[in-house]
Structure 1
Amino acid sequence: MTTGEQLAAIDELRGRAFPARRERSAQGESGPGFHVVRLWEGAPLWDADPADAAEIREDCAAALAALTALLSLRWGEPGVLDLAGPLERVAMGLPVPPPLDILSGLVPRLHTWRTAGRWVAVGAGQGGPEQPCQVLAAIAEERAARGFPGPPRDVSRR
């Protein structure tokens, strides 16, 4: 997916209604108050040459950096949300609100914005050391995201 297609996917998700119960598709997961979608994915790393694996990880980081830069042009500097705390809570069997329950096992941190009553986040990572690198986007209702760290104000610019 190109960066332009990624932006279009994020815009589409911002306008999409949230389902009444959790739903999964090949691209992601949605539920009451949230959407999570995969925007970029590298090849699996379980049998990759170490040099190829390093290149895939660099490509993933570059894809996230490019997307974050474009979203920052739109909405200003993002907040940064470290997902170590939610990941620890998930590991301990404690409740974590969606979409952080999904994202904490896949990405170490998120770049976040609040716009038009929605919380928007992007991040990159892997579900495990040999799993594919991926760039994910999440959209949540503002009321569902009230406890999430991030920019304090709604930028409400396109």
Structure 2
Amino acid sequence: MDIAQCLTLIDLLCAREFPAAHGRTEHGESGPGYHIAALQTSEEFWDGDGSAREETAAQYEADRDGLARRLGDRWGPPHHVSLYSVLDRTLAGEDVPEPWAGLSGHVPDVHLWQLPRTDRWLALGVSQWDKELPFQLLGIVTETDPP
């Protein structure tokens, strides 16, 4: 997906109502108070010496940063929020709301904006569930305040 398509999908997510129940969508998943969309998905990394994984990680972070600059033109610079402490709190049994609890298991940090004149937040993050699995550039729209 090119940057124009990413921006179009982000605009769609920002305008879309949240569902009453968790479920899969054509772009990812949604639940009460949030939408998560995969803006890009890489190949898997089962073979090789790890160099392709490192290059892909760097490229996905660069793509996230490039998209963040475009969104920054609209809403100003993003906040950089680490989700490591959210993961620790979740693992310790704290009831952290979604989408933050789930994201913290595979997205180390996000670029975050509070959308003007709404109660919604937009976050961009790079996800990887495990070292062999693909990277994803995620767009997240939620009405749940970041933890």
TM-score, normalised via structure 2 length: 0.91
| Corresponding residue of 1:30 | 30
Query: Does residue 126 of the first structure (1) align with residue 100 of the second (2)?
Result: no
| Corresponding residue of 1:136 | 138
What is the alpha-carbon distance in structure 2 between the residues aligned to residue 90 and residue 52 of structure 1?
Answer: 31
- For structure 2, the residue ranges without an aligned partner over 5 or more in a row are none
Q: 1:48 to 1:125 in 2, by over 3 A?
A: farther
The alpha-carbon deviation at position 30 of structure 1 amounts to 0.7
Name the SS of the counterpart of 1:120 in structure 2.
Answer: strand
Deviations 1:56-87 (A, max 9, x none): 11221121111111111111011111101111
Larger displacement relative to structure 2 (90-99 or 33-42): 90-99
The alpha-carbon deviation at position 94 of structure 1 amounts to 2.5
Aligned residues: 145
What is the alpha-carbon distance in structure 1 between the residues aligned to residue 89 and residue 26 of structure 2?
Answer: 27
C-alpha contact (below 8 Å) 1:41/1:60 kept by paired residues: no
What is the alpha-carbon distance in structure 1 between the residues aligned to residue 62 and residue 75 of structure 2?
Answer: 20
Larger displacement relative to structure 2 (12-21 or 79-88): 79-88
Q: What amino acid is aligned across from residue 20 of structure 1 in structure 2?
A: A
Percent of aligned positions that are identical: 37
What is the alpha-carbon distance in structure 2 between the residues aligned to residue 128 and residue 93 of structure 1?
Answer: 22
Q: 1:46 to 1:91 in 2, by over 3 A?
A: farther
Larger displacement relative to structure 2 (85-94 or 58-67): 85-94
Larger displacement relative to structure 2 (90-99 or 74-83): 90-99
What is the alpha-carbon distance in structure 2 between the residues aligned to residue 29 and residue 66 of structure 1?
Answer: 24
Could you list the structure 1 runs, at least 4 aligned residues long, displaced by more than 3 angstroms after superposition.
none
The alpha-carbon deviation at position 26 of structure 1 amounts to 5.8
Q: What amino acid is aligned across from residue 22 of structure 1 in structure 2?
A: H
Deviations 1:74-112 (A, max 9, x none): 110111111011111222332111110221112111111
- For structure 1, the residue ranges without an aligned partner over 5 or more in a row are 150-158
C-alpha contact (below 8 Å) 1:34/1:139 kept by paired residues: yes
- Cα RMSD over matched residues? 1.5
TM-score, normalised via structure 1 length: 0.85
Q: What amino acid is aligned across from residue 21 of structure 1 in structure 2?
A: A
